[in-house]
Amino acid sequence: MTRAYAAALATVLFAGLILLVGTATNGPAVRIVTAAAAEEAVDADLVKRGAKLARRKGCASCHSLDASRRPGPTWKGLFGRKRTLANGQEVVADEAYLRRAVLTPDAEIAQGFPKGMMPRNFEKKLSEDQLHAIIELIKSVRWQRPPGRIPAAKDVGEGAVPPI
């Protein structure tokens, strides 16, 4: 490749990059969105919608997003974890469990919480889309260890997570 050809190619590529990215004042001329980024954007919208619904439908008065104590179980770190029920059975808090917990709240009571606390008839009070948004909110509230904290030995074993 000649030097002139390489310089011309570099100029064309640089011009293409400028066109693609745009300038600081005009913003991007073209926006490239990956499938993962598009999915994240959709999830973020659902999470925001779920948060609004949780406040409006009264969920937030009993369920916290920050592991603070409330009448109902916290949603922080709930999704994907093993959950012990009042009858001693263990279940995984997956989407199916969360759906059952909302629609038939007394069918599987979380250990340490009384039966009959959660309102009934959410299948009539929530549309399928609304239920999905609330579940996405619960899924989004993950457990994160505070920065700088050294985990206790019981927290680092296989499948061990900090208590909620």
What local confidence, expressed as pLDDT, does residue 23 receive? 45
Report the percentage of the chain scoring pLDDT > 90: 54
Mean pLDDT to the nearest integer, 110-123: 90
Residue 72 near residue 83 (C-beta atoms within 8 A): no
Residue 59 has pLDDT above 70, yes or no: yes
Encode pLDDT of 69-86 as tens digits. 999 999 999 999 999 999
- The pLDDT score that the predictor gives to residue 99 is 96
C-beta separation of 102 from 5 below 8 A: no
DSSP 90-137: EEE--HHHHHHHHHSTTTSPBTTS-TT-S-S-HHHHS-HHHHHHHHHH
pLDDT tens digits along 14-32: 444 444 444 444 555 555 5
Q: pLDDT band for position 130 (50/70/90)?
A: very high
Q: In which band, very low, low, confident or very high, does the pLDDT at 49 lie, cut at 50, 70 and 90?
A: very high
What sign does the dihedral 32-35-37-43 (CA atoms) show?
A: positive
Sequence ranges of the domains in the chain: 1-32, 38-155
Helix (H) or strand (E) holding 40: helix 35-56
Looking at the domain that runs over 38-155, which CATH code has it been given? Answer: 1.10.760.10
**pLDDT score, position 138:** 95
Give the pLDDT of residue 100.
95
Summary mean pLDDT of the chain: 76
- Report the pLDDT value the prediction gives residue 61, as an integer from 0 to 100: 93
Identify the pLDDT of residue 12: 46
Residue 162, token pair as written in the block: 């900090």
* pLDDT-above-70 percentage for the chain: 62
